[in-house]
Amino acid sequence: MSAQQRIVIIGAGFGGLYAAQGLKHARADVTVIDRRNFHLFQPLMYQVATGTLSPGEIAAPIRSVLAGQKNTEVFLGDVVKIDLARREVSLSDGGMVPYDSLIVAAGSRSAYFGKDVWRDVAPSLKTIEEATAIRHKILFAFEAAERETDPEERKAWLRFAIVGGGLTGVELAGALGEIARFTLKHEFRAIRPEESQIFLLEGSPRIMSAFPPDLAEAAVRSLNKLGVNVKTGVRVIDISDQRLTYRAASGDCTMHTRTVLWAAGVTSSELTESLAVQSGAQLDKLRRLKVNPDLTLPGHPEVFIIGDIAQIAGSDGKVLPGVAQVAMQGGEYAAKVILGRLKGKPVTKPFHYFDKGSLAVIGRGSAVADIAGLHLSGLIAWLIWLFVHVLYLVEFRNRIMVMIQWGFQYITFSRGARLITGPTQTPSRSVAPVRGAPGG
Ligand SMILES: Cc1cc2nc3c(=O)[nH]c(=O)nc-3n(C[C@H](O)[C@H](O)[C@H](O)COP(=O)(O)OP(=O)(O)OC[C@H]3O[C@@H](n4cnc5c(N)ncnc54)[C@H](O)[C@@H]3O)c2cc1C
């Protein structure tokens, strides 16, 4: 066995990857464990869900990203348990990985807040499989509407509801508005896709609560231009494959829709529960672990908790949001602390988050940006969004591919990745017979 320190990183998302890269020159054995063999750039997932980009363009094999780091090995494995007393990580296949230092960066998963039955009818956008399932659902709805002869059923196929007016919901709604208004405009014969109804439903009094009110208002205006109907202060109380019911101040309302998409919330990785029990650390309502100012788990200076699973306060005392920058900076900080310890020069400064600003894209040429107190909207914000997202894509090849796709889409409105993959549904009712088929 090596006499070197063993550093284990769970998760190669934004936090884990930045931690691993920060340990590139550590005189230690670094092991990165992830249940997927790729790093996923989640902020562009809505573009996969709406057919602009293909899954491979927003993902990169972890092994290839870290190939140049001689001190680092990558394991494909699903961590099921962390034993704090024995300093061991257990994998679902029975594998056991010991550590001296551990960085847990397992991220979050979508949450239906006790209504897990909605998961089947209203897919969320958290994994690449879910993104392609949403793409399937959206594209299939237009196909089914084209062959539907019952006017009410046809309207239901062309009625889309997105639950949750945060960043993901807004970006999905904007992209859907664009597909309906522009991309598919001339491609169907029986339906007019631009007559689709798109609803964005939000429980709070306004959408995008993480953004300043004026930018949220600018986002609503841009969404309206794309035909998106934004409803705030409404709570969804039932979803089925045919209907959605929400409660508003004026009473309950049911809409007939065949496509409901879920963007209403996340909860931490399942690993946080057991860590809380073992360490006595507190969990907040999103099941995030309350950590020390140096991102370590209370009572365990050898264990760092970073990214979406950590509850950390910013310099204003407010809890930091679950965004990529918080995870990246957390990863860099944890790596720096471990390096300091290895060199016998402990880092004493607590974690400090530097807010580089927030961005949200609403459609082609339209975005909002809050950067160092500067509120921008429209084309300038969109150009910044474009630059930042390409800059942070992990692989150079992906940057080139994405730039080409976006350039092409900007000029032509087309979306090149509009494939309906996976098992195809068949519209069940009132569907026009196929020409040439028996009885048709
Ligand atoms: C649709 C969407 C859009 C978003 N848009 C933005 C945006 O525009 N801007 C922004 O800043 N943020 C955005 N975010 C949030 C951002 O992606 C997250 O805050 C960030 O990914 C958190 O990083 P992380 O390292 O904590 O977790 P993740 O990046 O989620 O990585 C977690 C990793 O851990 C692995 N893992 C989990 N559990 C296990 C286990 N038990 N065993 C092994 N491996 C495991 C996962 O496979 C994954 O690779 C978006 C998120 C989503 C879902």
171 flagged as catalytic: yes
Q: What's the confidence (pLDDT) of residue 226? A: 96
13-47 burial, b if ≥16 CB within 10 A, otherwise e?
Answer: bbbbbbbbbbbeebebbbbbbbbbebbbbbbbbbb
Q: Which residues pair with 39 in a beta bridge?
A: 60
Average pLDDT over residues 399-414: 84
* Cα 152 to averaged position of ligand 1 atoms, centre (Å): 39
Q: Whose CA is nearest to atom 6 of ligand 1?
A: 43
* Cα 42 to averaged position of ligand 1 atoms, centre (Å): 6
Share of the chain above pLDDT 70, in %: 95
375-388 pLDDT, tens digit each = 999 999 999 999 99
CB of residue 169 inside a 6 A radius of ligand 1: no
Q: Identify which has the larger pLDDT, 395 or 124.
A: 124
CB of residue 303 inside a 6 A radius of ligand 1: no
User: What number of other Cβ atoms are within 10 A of residue 162's Cβ?
Assistant: 27
Q: What's the confidence (pLDDT) of residue 328? A: 97
Across 148-219, the runs of DSSP E, i.e. the strands, are 159-163, 197-202
Q: What is the DSSP letter of 38?
A: E
Q: What's the confidence (pLDDT) of residue 440? A: 31
Q: For residue 151, give both structure tokens.
A: 């006017």
Contact between residue 168 and residue 264 where contact means Cβ atoms under 8 Å apart: no
Of 307, 337, 390, 336, nearest in space to 12 by CA? 307
Residue 186 burial (C-beta neighbours within 10 Å; 0-12, 13-18, 19+): exposed
∠ CA 20-25-26, nearest 5°, is 75
Query: What stretch of H or E contains 300?
Result: strand 300-305
Q: What's the confidence (pLDDT) of residue 1? A: 45
11-44 pLDDT, tens digit each = 999 999 999 999 999 999 999 999 999 999 999 9
Of 18, 130, 32, nearest in space to 79 by CA? 32
- Look at the block and give the residue holding tokens 């009110």: 213
CB of residue 81 inside a 6 A radius of ligand 1: no
Q: Whose CA is nearest to atom 37 of ligand 1?
A: 106
Specify the length of the chain in residues. 440
Q: For residue 110, give both structure tokens.
A: 């979508």
Q: Of the residues 323, 332, 358, 392, which should be mutated to test ligand 1's pocket, given the most ligand atoms within 8 Å of the CB?
A: 323
Average pLDDT over residues 172-182: 94
CA–CA distance, 60 with 72 (Å, rounded to integer): 17
Q: Are strands 243-248 and 251-256 parallel, antiparallel or unpaired?
A: antiparallel
Q: Report whether pLDDT(394) > 90.
A: no
55-74 pLDDT, tens digit each = 999 999 999 999 999 999 99
Q: For residue 224, give both structure tokens.
A: 């309206």
CB of residue 358 inside a 6 A radius of ligand 1: no
Q: What's the confidence (pLDDT) of residue 428? A: 53
CB of residue 14 inside a 6 A radius of ligand 1: yes
Average pLDDT over residues 347-360: 95
Q: For residue 171, give both structure tokens.
A: 């970006």
CB of residue 78 inside a 6 A radius of ligand 1: yes
Q: What's the confidence (pLDDT) of residue 432? A: 52
- The pairs formed by 346-353 with CB atoms below 8 angstroms and a separation of 24 or more are 347/294, 350/293, 350/294, 351/293, 351/294, 351/295, 351/312, 352/315, 353/312, 353/314, 353/315, 353/320, 353/325, 353/326, 353/329
* Cα 319 to averaged position of ligand 1 atoms, centre (Å): 18
CB of residue 16 inside a 6 A radius of ligand 1: yes
Query: What stretch of H or E contains 33?
Result: strand 28-34
Name the catalytic one among 153, 171, 178, 202: 171
* Cα 178 to averaged position of ligand 1 atoms, centre (Å): 26
Of 229, 226, 172, nearest in space to 198 by CA? 229
Q: For residue 218, give both structure tokens.
A: 């600018």
CA–CA distance, 331 with 16 (Å, rounded to integer): 6
Average pLDDT over residues 154-174: 97
CB of residue 49 inside a 6 A radius of ligand 1: no
- Look at the block and give the residue holding tokens 């900007």: 410
* Cα 133 to averaged position of ligand 1 atoms, centre (Å): 18
Domains of the chain: 6-35+77-110+266-342 (3.50.50.60), 116-264 (3.50.50.100)
Q: What's the confidence (pLDDT) of residue 188? A: 95
Q: What is the pTM of this model?
A: 0.93
Mean pLDDT taken over the chain: 93
- Closest atom of ligand 1 relative to the 78 alpha carbon: 42
Q: How far is CA 409 from the centre of its chain?
A: 22
Q: What's the confidence (pLDDT) of residue 407? A: 85
265-305 pLDDT, tens digit each = 899 999 999 999 999 999 999 999 999 999 999 999 999 99
- Closest atom of ligand 1 relative to the 91 alpha carbon: 42
CB of residue 167 inside a 6 A radius of ligand 1: yes
Would you place residue 425 in the very low, low, confident or very high pLDDT band (cuts 50, 70, 90)? low
- Closest atom of ligand 1 relative to the 325 alpha carbon: 11
Q: How far is CA 355 from the centre of its chain?
A: 19
Q: What's the confidence (pLDDT) of residue 380? A: 96
* Cα 416 to averaged position of ligand 1 atoms, centre (Å): 25
* Cα 409 to averaged position of ligand 1 atoms, centre (Å): 26
Average pLDDT over residues 106-127: 95
CA–CA distance, 144 with 151 (Å, rounded to integer): 12
Average pLDDT over residues 303-323: 95
CB of residue 123 inside a 6 A radius of ligand 1: no
* Cα 173 to averaged position of ligand 1 atoms, centre (Å): 21
Would you place residue 189 in the very low, low, confident or very high pLDDT band (cuts 50, 70, 90)? very high
Of 90, 66, 91, nearest in space to 77 by CA? 91
Q: Report whether pLDDT(422) > 80.
A: no
* Cα 303 to averaged position of ligand 1 atoms, centre (Å): 19
Q: Whose CA is nearest to atom 30 of ligand 1?
A: 107
336-347 pLDDT, tens digit each = 999 999 999 999
Q: Whose CA is nearest to atom 19 of ligand 1?
A: 323
Contact between residue 266 and residue 286 where contact means Cβ atoms under 8 Å apart: yes
CB of residue 324 inside a 6 A radius of ligand 1: yes
CB of residue 32 inside a 6 A radius of ligand 1: no
- Closest atom of ligand 1 relative to the 15 alpha carbon: 25
Average pLDDT over residues 414-418: 78
Contact between residue 360 and residue 368 where contact means Cβ atoms under 8 Å apart: yes
Share of the chain above pLDDT 90, in %: 84
Would you place residue 439 in the very low, low, confident or very high pLDDT band (cuts 50, 70, 90)? very low
Average pLDDT over residues 118-136: 95
Average pLDDT over residues 224-231: 97
Q: Which residues pair with 268 in a beta bridge?
A: 108
